[in-house]
């Protein structure tokens, strides 16, 4: 039978099939060769760092990692699978055999989750004394803080004027009916900035946080976004005059566009700092080098670069950009809760937020 099958195929068909298969085969070989080449360029991995995307894309990573590599003659790989939530989610999946040695971006709003899930290991660097003591949000030393920034209300100067709106003086003002439909908020369950904002709002409102969330939900009018970058770009395009962002946004605008259309509101009596830290991953393969990296974080070399992140150094006395000095603001009273307070209240706050916004 086989003989019959072969016999009935014309030579032309066979030729065409053979040519086709050869082209495809050669193509595969070529592509695989190129990909192997590209993959090999990275070399050995002495230290693996997991970080949120903008650690690389804003430029903090690219400005400090090479310094560290040179200092110790090692090769560092930075992996950025998404935002901090995604990074922690991924580490949670790799718990049994962690790939990362260091995680960058664990902040004061989410440290408790990472500790709860047993992802981190405490380590106190020898130069820990350099840290501004008010920045030490973790008495158990699971994280080494590396930068901080205020969560702030930002207003589009032009639109505020056009629509005759008063610039809010503090966070509770956002409940005022004049802001109905005038703001973009962030979803705390998908955005880490949003999660900081929720904690800030709950701390500012105190006992009445549930009703404040209700008022916020009324005024937000459904304008709640899933990620900070989507929110910021839509706010820049004039979708709404008010949004939730960072304290150095005016400086940022000046720096990149040379314009000053952003009014940044950091309420004096309601300061909330997002303090970001790096941590040793539990079960890390390269512990020693990882610890060296954590020591490196509080050195001048690292701290003088955090401006790349549009954040401020956590070691006193580091010189900062003139624009940051000019347009940055400090609050007199800080209301960020301790890690312990966040831990015991987070679920209640989150539930109140859900009920207010999604019910």
Partner 1 sequence: MISGEQIMELQGKKIRVWMRRSIGYTIPMIFLVLFCLYPLLLIMKFGVVNDEGQFTFRYLIDLVTDRIYLKVIGFTFTQALISAVITLVLALPGAYLLSRYKFPGRSMIMAASTVPFVLPSLVLAVGFLGIFGAQGTINNFIVDINGSLGTTLPPVDILYTKKVIILAHIFFNFPIALRILYSRFGTMDTSLENAARSMGAGRIRTFFTVTLPQMRYSLLSSFSLVFTFCLLSLGVILVIGGLNHTLEVEVMSLFKGLKVHHGGALVIVESIIVLLATLVYIWSSSKEGSRADVALGEGVSKWSGRRPTSITTILIVIYILVVFLVIFAPLTSVGMESLVSETSGSGLTLEWYEQVISTQNDPTISISPLGAIINSLLFGSLTMILSVPLSIITAHMLHGSKFKRKWILDLLLLFPIGASSVALGYGLVKAYSGSPYHLTGTWYIVVLVHSVIAYPLGARAVYSSLRSIPPNLIKASRSMGAGPIESYFKVKLPLMMPGILVAAVFAFAISIGELGATLMVSKEAFMTMPVFLYRMIEGGGRHFGAMNAFAVILMGITFLSFLAIEMIKRIFMKWGVNN
Nearer to partner 1, 59 or 167 (CB): 59
Long-range contacts, 155-160 (Cβ 8 Å, 24+): 155/241, 155/242, 155/262, 155/263, 155/265, 156/235, 156/238, 156/240, 156/241, 156/242, 156/261, 156/262, 156/263, 157/260, 157/261, 157/262, 157/263, 158/261, 159/238, 159/240, 159/241, 160/241, 160/242, 160/263
Residue 168 in 3-state DSSP? coil
Please tell me the distance from the alpha carbon of residue 271 to that of residue 265, in angstroms, as a whole number: 10
Nearer to partner 1, 173 or 285 (CB): 285
Nearest-CA neighbor of 147 among 291, 323, 318?
318
CB of 143 to partner 1, least distance (A): 16
Nearer to partner 1, 125 or 277 (CB): 277
CB of 316 to partner 1, least distance (A): 27
CB of 322 to partner 1, least distance (A): 19
Nearer to partner 1, 96 or 332 (CB): 96
CB of 178 to partner 1, least distance (A): 9
CA angle 51, 52, 58 (to 5 degrees): 105
272 half-sphere exposure, CB direction, 13 A CA radius: 29
CB of 28 to partner 1, least distance (A): 6
Nearer to partner 1, 243 or 335 (CB): 243
Nearer to partner 1, 219 or 270 (CB): 219
CB of 285 to partner 1, least distance (A): 10
Q: How many helices (H) and strands (E) does the chain have?
A: 15, 11
């Amino acid at each position: 039978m086989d003989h019959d099958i072969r016999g009935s195929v014309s030579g032309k068909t066979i030729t065409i099939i053979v040519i086709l298969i050869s082209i495809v085969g050669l193509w595969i070989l070529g592509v695989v060769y190129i990909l192997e080449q590209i993959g090999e360029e990275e070399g050995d991995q002495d230290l693996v760092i997991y970080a949120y995307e903008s650690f690389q894309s804003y430029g903090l990573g690219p400005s400090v990692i090479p310094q560290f590599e040179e200092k110790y003659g090692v090769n560092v790989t930075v992996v950025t699978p998404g935002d901090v939530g995604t990074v922690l989610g991924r580490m949670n999946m790799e718990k049994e055999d962690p790939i990362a040695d260091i995680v960058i971006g664990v902040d004061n709003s989410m440290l408790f989750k990472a500790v709860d899930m047993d992802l981190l290991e405490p380590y106190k660097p020898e130069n820990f004394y350099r840290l501004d003591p008010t920045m030490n949000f973790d008495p158990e030393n699971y994280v080494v803080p590396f930068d901080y920034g205020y969560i702030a209300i930002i207003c589009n100067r032009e639109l505020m004027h056009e629509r005759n709106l008063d610039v809010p003086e503090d966070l509770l003002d956002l409940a005022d009916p004049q802001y109905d439909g005038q703001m973009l908020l962030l979803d705390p369950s998908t955005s880490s900035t949003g999660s900081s904002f929720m904690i800030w709002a709950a701390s500012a409102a105190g006992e009445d946080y549930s009703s404040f969330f209700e008022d916020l939900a009324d005024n937000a009018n459904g304008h709640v976004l899933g990620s900070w970058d989507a929110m910021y770009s839509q706010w820049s395009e004039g979708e709404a005059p008010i949004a939730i962002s960072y304290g150095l946004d005016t400086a940022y605008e000046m720096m990149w566009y040379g314009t000053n259309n952003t009014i940044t509101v950091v309420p004096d009596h309601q300061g909330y700092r997002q303090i970001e830290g790096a941590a040793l991953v539990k079960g890390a393969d390269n512990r020693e080098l990882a610890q060296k990296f954590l020591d490196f974080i509080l050195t001048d070399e690292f701290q003088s670069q955090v401006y790349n992140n549009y954040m401020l150094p956590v070691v006193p006395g580091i010189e900062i950009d003139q624009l940051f000095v000019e347009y940055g603001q400090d609050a007199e009273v800080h209301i960020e809760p301790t890690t312990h307070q966040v831990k015991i209240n987070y679920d209640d706050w989150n539930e109140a937020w859900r009920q207010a916004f999604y019910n």
